[in-house]
Amino acid sequence: MNILETYPQLQQFLNYLKFEKKYSKHTLISYQTDLEQFLTYLISQYNSPSIQDIKPTLIRSWLGELKEDELVAKSIKRKISALKSFFKYQLKIGVVSQTPMVTIVSPKLNKRLPSFIEETQIENLLNNNFSNDWKGKTEKLVLQLFYATGMRLSELINLKENQIDKSNLHIKVTGKGNKERIIPINKELVFLLENHIAEKRKDITIDVVNVFVTSTGKPLQPRNIYAFVNKRLKNISVAQKSPHVLRHSFATHLMNNGADLNAVKELLGHSSLAATQIYTHNSIEKLKEVFKKAHPKA
C-alpha cells in the first residue's frame, strides 16, 4: 500500500516545509523518513486510521516499539519532534481540531558540552604543513574561514563571490531557512579571500561563482571537506574531528573572551538563545579551571 495515497496529508506537509518554510533537502528527508515510518506502523498495526482518528495511545504504542528496538533517546526525540510539527500543521489547516501530541513527552537527553579546540592549538592547526598547490591553499583557507566566522559547512560550500563585502569587511551568509546574516571579518581574511578568488579566475577556466572549488572547477562537496578536516584534526587533542568543531571553537572562544551571548547568537545564526547557551557551560568550565590553578584555597 502506497503511504502517500493512504495519507496524502504527508505530501502536503512536506510541500509546506519545502516551499514555505524553505527547509533544506537533508531536513526534508529526515522529516519524511520519520513520518513514513510512523504511518507505515499505523497501516500495518491499526488498519490505516484517518489522521483525525490518530490518538495519543497509538503514538505511545509506536514509541514503545521503538524503545523495545533499543532506539536511542536522541532519535526518539527527533521522531517526536517530527510528529509534533506534522500535527501542528494539521491543526493549522483544520484537518484536526486537537493535536494528539499534547500529552506526548519527549525523553530527556544527557547534555554534552560541545567539543572545541583550545586556543593554543588553533595556530598549530592553521599553520601546519599545507602544500603550495591549489588543494593545499584551499584547505588552509577553508579552515581559516570556519574558525574566523563560525559558519556552517553548508554555508561555506555555497558561499559565492558576491557575498564577500571587502569594503565593509563582512560576509553575507545564507543559513537555515534561507535566513541571511552578516558576519564581520578582518582585513587579513579579506586579503586572503581576494587572492584566492583571483587565483581561481586565473588558473581555473570554468566560470564558477562559488568561492571554494576543486582544481577542476567543481564546487567542493561535504565529503571532501569532512575528509581533509578530519585528517588535519588527527594531531589535535579534540574529541570531535569534523568541520563543526571549528564552529564550536569559534563560539566558545568568543564566550571565553567576554563576548555577549546575544551577539554570539546572531553570529551563529541561531533562531533561539537556548541553542547558544550551551557555550556558556564551556565558559563556566574554563572559569573553574582558572580558579583551581590560581586560587590558593581551590
In a 3-state reduction of DSSP, which class is residue 22?
coil
* Among the ranges given (43-57, 64-78, 108-122, 155-169), the one the predictor scored with the smallest mean pLDDT: 108-122
Per-residue pLDDT of 40-63, as tens digits, reads 999 999 999 999 999 999 999 999
Q: What is the pLDDT of residue 54?
A: 97
CATH architecture of 3-92: Orthogonal Bundle (1.10)
3-state secondary structure (DSSP) of residue 180: strand
CB atoms within 10 A of CB 148: 19
Assign 70 a pLDDT band (cuts: 50, 70, 90). confident
Average pLDDT value over all residues in the chain? 91
Beta-ladder partners of 172? 182
| CA-closest candidate to residue 90, choices 60, 51, 56, 62 | 51
- As annotated, the active-site residues are 152, 176, 244, 247, 270, 279
pLDDT at 205: 64
Q: How much is the pLDDT for 170?
A: 96
Between residues 190 and 287, the one the model is more confident about: 190
pLDDT tens digits, residue range 189-204?
Answer: 999 999 999 999 888 7
pLDDT above 70 coverage of the chain, percent: 95
With a cut of 80, say whether residue 124 has pLDDT above it: yes
Q: Per residue in 6-25, pLDDT tens?
A: 999 999 999 999 999 999 88
CA gyration radius, the chain: 23
Place of cell 567543481: 218
Highest mean pLDDT among 96-110, 139-153, 225-239: 139-153
pLDDT classification of 249: cutoffs 50, 70, 90: very high
Q: What is the pLDDT of residue 109?
A: 75
From CA 296, how far away is CA 278, in angstroms rounded? 29
CATH code of 119-294, in short, is 1.10.443.10
Residue 180's DSSP bridge partners are 174
Half-sphere exposure of 68 (CA within 13 A, CB side): 6
For the chain, the domains span 3-92, 119-294
Amino acid at 171: I
Q: What letters, b where the CB count within 10 A reaches 16 and e where it falls short, cover 213-236?
A: beeeeeebeeebbeebbeebbeee
For residue 270, pLDDT beyond 70:
yes
Distance CA 247, CA 208 (A): 26
Q: What is the structure's pLDDT at 1? A: 60
Residues with Cβ within 8 Å of 90's Cβ and at least 6 positions away in sequence, in order, are 9, 13, 51, 96, 99
Residue where the block lists cell 499534547: 102
Tell me if residue 133 falls in helix, strand or coil.
Answer: coil
pLDDT at 208: 82
Q: Quick one: which of 151, 117, 124 has its CA closest to 256?
A: 117
Q: Which pLDDT value is given to residue 287?
A: 65
**Lowest mean pLDDT, pick from 71-75, 113-117, 168-172, 280-284:** 280-284
